[in-house]
Amino acid sequence: MTSITPKRENLPANTEEAITSQMEEAHLILAAAMPALANELVEIGLSPKVKPYVKVPAIAEAYKILQTGVIDRQNREKLESIRLALDQLENGTTREVIDV
């Protein structure tokens, strides 16, 4: 049985760049639409006309989005702290305590 997934060595050199570019463009489109999508999600969750079997996933998704945002922010802060600590180690100006 042959695989339909191309092997990395058979891909053109610029394929990864093209994929990265397309993903960046897709993320920009989604980011621009997020406020409107968030409003729709809230309307679905709060509307008395929407059936409960639709509301539950909408509300769960809203919580998941918020949780992901909080975790992403915390991870960025920790990563920045690690970068600062590494820069200080590389430059010989270490902090008294390195909290990772």
Q: pLDDT per residue over 12-61, tens digit each?
A: 667 878 888 888 888 888 888 888 888 888 888 889 999 988 888 888 88
User: pTM for the whole thing?
Assistant: 0.50
Q: For residue 47, give every residue at least 6 positions away whose Cβ sits within 8 Å of its Cβ, in sequence order, or none.
A: 55
Angle CA 10–3–9, to nearest 5: 15
More confident residue, 38 or 94: 38
Residue 80: C-alpha distances to residues 73, 77, 87, 93, 96 (Å)? 11, 5, 10, 17, 17
